Structure 1
């Protein structure tokens, strides 16, 4: 209810969040990723109330920038603050507190990493939208081609062309270790 209210204030789609699993093929998680990405500002608003006092001070400026970006007026800001306080006053189990802490960590402290990982996942999952001729296979083939081109700089071609997939991966791993030791 609060998430939907904040979504409406921010003029975001008020879709229901996806659960931690998708009941069918993993590639169908693309839609869940897109919805989560679109809802990130609403999630950040909700979970801001669970931050420590020091963290609230630290993230006050990004919160204000979000209000400006989404044209949130003073009355709506006051309502969001009331929602945050109400949620923070609710009694929680130790597991609930830990979950809130983990979510705050991902939304606020590790925002760049979280958005990057979500974006990569959405990008790779988007390759699955090719119907019967899935583009995931094309992505795999392109990655293999790129990796083999890289290996060709360091290994004779006949060693690469005669190797199995497992041998190529092993060879690449050994090569990477050697390069890192230089």
Structure 2
């Protein structure tokens, strides 16, 4: 029983430490959910954008903080429509010229100029719509713009990291939540999941033959045992996303991941 509790503390800590990402994408989840839940016009416009890109639209699910694993499913849903979200919120950007090339690159994915012209007309509709919004609505739009444009790389990085890292935990949780989990199976699953989590940021030779109590030791996560920043697991999509960033920016994002596992 002690080993089950010991490894559970590591798993719980993994979720609690997601807060060290400054709730960047969780706040985005909330704002996107509210923005489309109460506006049928906004839903119609973004659904049309999705149609142009041959995507099915569904309202952004609500993120429930105490159901922390929902961050995985919502991250996937957000990534699926990420380009469309950027198109929808582009008219609310103050310095549009800064991001026009990025937006044009998204529009170039459309097969002909006709749908591109329709996107431009939707931009004009949204610009007019912004003028009549409430102060709260405008503030929400600007928070979303901050994440999708000004901090786009960080937002995309965290979303892709969640999409790659959280499946390790998602496989374990259903067993934990069963009405009467068999303790030996629960223990084995916890130990296996804990080892995988630790291996994503700790040198493999430091994990060989460790028992659950040793894995929970603070010594395991000491600096001397850490993988180099460029070796920690973040997932292929997140890795590809930051490969062209300057070294300082890239290291800042990787340090975020390391701190979240500390």
Identify unmatched segments of 5+ residues in structure 2.
Answer: 1-43, 176-184, 207-211, 227-262
Residue number in structure 2 paired with 1:115: 156
Q: How big is each residue's C-alpha offset from its partner over 1:34-82, in whole Å with a ceiling of 9 and x where there is no partner? A: 1110000110110011111xx21111111111111233x3222222222
Residue number in structure 2 paired with 1:158: none
Which is greater in Rg?
Answer: 1
Residue number in structure 2 paired with 1:76: 115
Deviation at 1:17, TM superposition (A): 1.4
1:95 corresponds, among 123, 127, 136, to: 136
2:196 corresponds, among 142, 158, 182, to: 142
1:168 corresponds, among 219, 225, 234, to: 219
Q: How big is each residue's C-alpha offset from its partner over 1:149-170, in whole Å with a ceiling of 9 and x where there is no partner? A: 58x6xxxxxxxx997946538x
1:81–1:122 Cα change, 3 Å = same
Question: Aligned partners of 1:124, 1:146: CA distance in 2, in Å?
Answer: 9
Residue number in structure 2 paired with 1:8: 51
Higher RCO structure, 1 or 2 (CA under 8 Å, sep 6+):
2
Q: How big is each residue's C-alpha offset from its partner over 1:60-112, in whole Å with a ceiling of 9 and x where there is no partner? A: 111111111233x3222222222222222221222221211111111112211
Residue number in structure 2 paired with 1:35: 77
Deviation at 1:20, TM superposition (A): 3.2
Question: Aligned partners of 2:106, 2:191: CA distance in 1, in Å?
Answer: 39
**TM-score in terms of structure 1 length:** 0.71
Bigger mean CA deviation after superposition, 30-39 or 2-11: 30-39
Question: Aligned partners of 1:112, 1:11: CA distance in 2, in Å?
Answer: 25
Identify unmatched segments of 5+ residues in structure 1.
Answer: 153-160, 177-182
